[in-house]
Amino acid sequence: MFPLQRNRRLRTNESIRSLVRETTLSPNDFMLPMFVAEGKDVKVAIPSMPGIYRHSLDNTIKEVKEAWDLGIKAVNIYVKVSDHLKDNKGVEAWNKDGLMQQTIRAIKDAVPEMIVMPDVALDPYSIYGHDGIIENGQLINDATVDALTQMSLSHAEAGADFVAPSDMMDGRVLAIRKALEENGHHNVGIMSYSAKYASAFYGPFRDALDSAPVDSQNIPKDKKTYQMDYANRIEGIREALLDVEEGADIVMVKPGMAYLDIVREVKNAVHVPVAVYQVSGEYAMVKAAAERGWLDHDKIMIEQLYCIKRAGANIISTYFAKEAAVILNK
């Protein structure tokens, strides 16, 4: 006797598969990370990230408008800081006329409805390439939190919709939330990089911003004293829960594909939206394999994005955002 349940009935053709599909994907799910550089009419290719560029502000606005027309509703901004502006305290990070602040204002002027989430971390501004202030060969937490708070306020004053602390300092979400409230920025949200792992997948990103840690005997050579051990699962859940208690509106898991178990665990634990960052190394691997003809680029790209969404992501920060949006819009 044949079984009463023939599961293949629901896979017969694309019409029925579409009708019963559990997960949907659209450009509304994407956030586009963008790299901004000083100058005018600048478009510098990032060799380890094919198709991704550092743009000057004028070209950044063109990119933002193109993303908006594709249905992408949010951008995550990172700036390439000139070496002469770097120091150990990141003072340039809260310069009201700094490149990040100029970029926020320009995007909100050009596309007011675009959600702007600037990165909050000191590594682009640090002479040591670390996410905080270094003293006696150690990254100090509380002074760094003070700097991040000033940085966040400057972003809010420039018009940011959310600030996005990616540093993994203890207590920074609460400090930022209190400062935003005390200064009248009640509607500025916080997207916290809550479960950010010390990953080797970040390499191309550091090429993009020239922000790798300095190789010195007196300075930590990696970020393992503040980014999380990739062997840990429960720690990621605890970090996300703490950030929600401190006032985070959105929590993020980073990286993406290799950490989908963490995405699902965090999604089950919190009652706020969950963002996932499909990072530079993940992007670069797909590009490299596709260039060699080993993988079908578009099929792999869409499959990975579906998998991230299926795991529980409400927002996917991905360098594939524009390419994927073109395909999904068809």
User: 287: closest CA among 304, 267, 301, 277?
Assistant: 301
Instruction: Region of 71 please: left (phi>0), alpha (psi -120 to 50) or beta.
Output: left
Is 178 noted as a catalytic residue in this protein? no
Whether residue 65 contacts residue 73, with contact meaning beta carbons closer than 8 Å, is answered with no
In whole angstroms, give the CA distance from residue 154 to residue 158.
Answer: 6
Neighbours of 92 (CB within 10 A): 20
Catalytic residue of the set 108, 254, 287, 309? 254
Q: What is the dihedral of CA 288, 291, 295, 296, to 10 degrees?
A: 130
CA distances from 217 to 90, 122, 140, 207, 241 (A): 22, 21, 17, 22, 36
In whole angstroms, give the CA distance from residue 246 to residue 107.
Answer: 29
Distance from chain centroid for Cα 308 = 14
Whether residue 195 contacts residue 243, with contact meaning beta carbons closer than 8 Å, is answered with no
Catalytic residue of the set 80, 86, 196, 309? 196
In whole angstroms, give the CA distance from residue 2 to residue 7.
Answer: 12
Is 196 noted as a catalytic residue in this protein? yes
| Structure tokens given for 71 | 């249905």
User: 194: closest CA among 280, 269, 302?
Assistant: 269
User: 283: closest CA among 48, 75, 80, 31?
Assistant: 48
Q: What are the residue numbers of the active site?
A: 196, 254
